[in-house]
Amino acid sequence: MTQGPLTTEAGAPVADNQNSETAGVGGPVLVQDQLLLEKLAHFNRERIPERVVHARGAGAYGTFTVTADVTPYTRAAFLSEVGKQTEVFLRFSTVAGNLGAADAVRDPRGFAVKFYTEEGNYDLVGNNTPVFFIRDAIKFPDFIHTQKRDPYTGSQEADNVWDFWSLSPESTHQVTWLFGDRGIPASYRHMDGFGSHTFQWSNEAGEVFWVKYHFKTDQGIKNLTAEEAEVLAGKDPDSHQRDLREAIERGEFPSWTVGVQIMPAADAATYRFNPFDLTKVWPHADYPVIEIGRLELNRNPRNIFAEVEQSIFSPAHFVPGIGPSPDKMLQGRLFAYGDAHRYRVGINADHLPVNRPHATEARTNSRDGFLYDGRHGGEKNYEPNSFGGPQQTGRPLWQPLDGLTGATGNHPTPVHAEDNDFVQAGNLYRLMTEPEKERLIANLAGFIAKVTRQDIVERAIGNFRNADADFGKRLETAVQELRG
């Protein structure tokens, strides 16, 4: 801030910032008091729409460093050399709560990374879970309606949540994960991140690989029990946000070891699970996680509104050598985020300092719109032109999909040899230790017992029974005990 007197928005000095101007002593306030009108009007417009999901979050800048040669798999320039560093901005979030909600709640955590690469910004907009509740974007608005406030009660309702989950058996895997120990991380620093979807990598020769990203916390996994979280959410609603900021202020920079599972393109058609189904993991025994880098967060934003609230991440922000897979959820997300940004932050959201490329510049012919800053001066705004304007490269960022045949239609996601809605939920349950199972059952039963309709309760328990008979039986007993 420069020195000098307090001013109006137009820069004129302010004489009195304590008393508004009145007609005589004790009289009504005058319209000519422009300072008063300007202050009240600006204040009324301080909020922008919060994110429709993931409204509550915290962010930090940092560095991604390549630790392994991945050039056989991708031609992405930021991954081209061991030791290469790229600036990142990472925003963590919860999903269902509003902007002012408490951090310590049972909910997936967002893990959205923006890599400011020399070929443009690459956004990996993931979660702290490797899978998701549904496998088709067309169900997302309905799903989120059940997580958010009921139109009549204005609160989240167990009836709505379990009605939807029980009628969407593909959610059983993610729900088992969420009600297990990792469902409430102790902080953003003490959890893993995942790209969750399968993405396409392609190398210089145009060979295609399908990949899944993993970010393994170097701080170690730490979680809260349901009881600990209840107390913390009340005592310190900002617990995660504070923890992240204070750790970075202390110089304790959190970091994650970054890995990928890599599937050669030819494996996809015959893999035992549909590799593009977001409700499924690829077991590590099939495709091990290969370490490729290290991500460190080392700088706090200076202004939360400008850099966190107005930050935008889009799964459609790819760079050469990285692209989408035919995962139906991912395909829907390729549209949803840009649309949300245009509504929430505006058509020039990409120009804001946190969002624009840092290691290159955007060269488009898009112009004008609300809050356009005139950055292009008098440059021509069309292409092709003969004035030296930017030109297309002729090389797509990612490789085309082949082998697509058949009629258009509302086709369900194809099922592979071992696919069903319950197999991986059952495997996850059977991997748990006995105390982990006990906590999982107690967490689930506590929530299911709040449902008012018996048919929903039975259907919900039925899905867990399909995953594992013991899981279903113990859950049924625990719910019965709570419901009396």
Task: Report which DSSP code applies to 171.
Answer: G
Closest listed residue to residue 214, CA positions, set 198, 229, 202: 198
Instruction: Quote the least distance from Cβ 143 to ligand HEM, whole Å.
Output: 8
Residue type, 168: S
Find the part of the chain contacting ligand HEM (CB under 6 A) among 68-76, 309-317, 414-422, 450-458: 309-317
Nearer to ligand HEM, 178 or 312 (CB): 312
The least CB distance from residue 387 to ligand HEM, in Å, is: 35
Which residues, in sequence order, are bridge partners of residue 255?
296
Q: Is 294 in the site for ligand HEM (CB under 6 A)?
A: no
Please choose, out of 125-133, 212-220, 223-231, 298-306, the segment that lies near ligand HEM by the rule CB under 6 A: 125-133
In terms of CB distance, is 166 or 314 closer to ligand HEM? Answer: 314
Which CB sits closer to ligand HEM, 108 or 120?
108
Task: Work out how close the CB of 91 gets to ligand HEM at its nearest, in angstroms, rounded to a whole number.
Answer: 4
Bridge partners (DSSP) of residue 61 are 89, 299
Q: Which is nearer to ligand HEM, 211 or 475 (CB)?
A: 211
Q: What share of the chain is helix, strand, coil (3-state, %, to 5)?
A: 30, 15, 50
Respond yes or no: is residue 223 known to be catalytic: no
Please name which of 321, 313, 314, 219 lies closest in space to residue 260, comparing C-alpha atoms.
321
How many Å from the N-terminal Cα to the C-terminal Cα in the chain? 64
CA distance 390 to 388: 7
Stretch that binds ligand HEM, among 35-43, 311-319, 361-369, 401-409 (CB under 6 A): 311-319
- Shortest spacing between CB 201 and ligand HEM, in angstroms: 18
Q: How far is the CB of 60 from ligand HEM (least distance, A)?
A: 12
Q: Give the alpha-carbon dihedral of 264, 265, 269, 272, to 10 degrees.
A: 30
The span from the CA of 199 to the CA of 338, in Å, is: 19
Query: How is residue 189 written in tokens?
Result: 């620093």
Q: Minimum CB separation from ligand HEM for residue 337, in Å?
A: 5
Nearer to ligand HEM, 93 or 466 (CB): 93
User: How far apart (Å, rounded) are the C-alpha atoms in residues 227 and 178?
Assistant: 16
Segment interacting with ligand HEM (CB under 6 A) among 6-14, 37-45, 46-54, 466-474: 46-54
Q: How far apart are CA 239 and CA 196, in angstroms?
A: 25
User: With binding defined as CB under 6 A, does residue 132 bind ligand HEM?
Assistant: yes
The closest residue (CB) to ligand HEM is 110
Kindly report the number of other CB atoms within 10 A of residue 162's CB atom.
24
CB of 466 to ligand HEM, least distance (A): 23
CB of 427 to ligand HEM, least distance (A): 20
As a whole number of angstroms, the distance between CA 293 and CA 215 comes to 9
Is 99 in a helix, a strand, or coil?
coil
Size of the site for ligand HEM (CB under 6 A): 27
The SS3 call for residue 159 is helix
Of 233, 243, 246, nearest to 101 (Cα)? 233
Cβ-based nearer residue to ligand HEM, 51 or 317: 51
In the region spanning residues 320 to 349, those forming contacts with ligand HEM, defined by CB under 6 A, are 329, 332-333, 336-337, 340-341, 344
Task: Give yes or no: 190 in active site.
Answer: no
The nearer residue to ligand HEM, 12 or 99, going by C-beta atoms, is: 99
Cα separations in angstroms, 71 against 64, 316, 396: 16, 22, 18
Cβ distance to ligand HEM smaller for residue 202 or 279: 279
Choosing from 19, 44, 54, 145, the catalytic residue is 54
110 lies in the binding site for ligand HEM (CB under 6 A): yes
Give the binding range for ligand HEM (CB under 6 A) out of 36-44, 47-55, 205-213, 431-439. 47-55
Regarding 93 and contact with ligand HEM (CB under 6 A), the answer is yes
Taken in order 241, 245, 250, 251, the sign of the CA dihedral is positive
CB of 269 to ligand HEM, least distance (A): 24
Residue 270 one-letter amino acid: T
Angle between helix axes 469-483 and 434-448 (nearest 10 degrees) is: 50
- Using the rule CB under 6 A, which residue among 21, 101, 140, 352 binds ligand HEM? 140
Give the per-residue contact string, 53-92, with ligand HEM (x = CB under 6 A; - = no).
xx--x---------------------------------x-
Alpha-carbon distances, residue 68 vs 72, 82, 109, 293, 319 (angstroms): 11, 5, 28, 7, 19
Q: Between β-strands 208-217 and 255-264, what pairing exists: parallel, antiparallel or unpaired?
A: antiparallel
Binding mask 188-207 toward ligand HEM (x if CB under 6 A, else -) reads --------x-----------
Of 171 and 466, nearer to ligand HEM (C-beta) is 171
Q: Is the dihedral of CA 17, 19, 20, 21 positive or negative?
A: negative
Residue type, 220: G
Residues found near ligand HEM in the complex (CB under 6 A): 51-54, 57, 91, 93, 110, 112, 125-127, 132, 137, 140, 196, 311-313, 329, 332-333, 336-337, 340-341, 344
Which residues belong to the active site? Answer: 54, 127
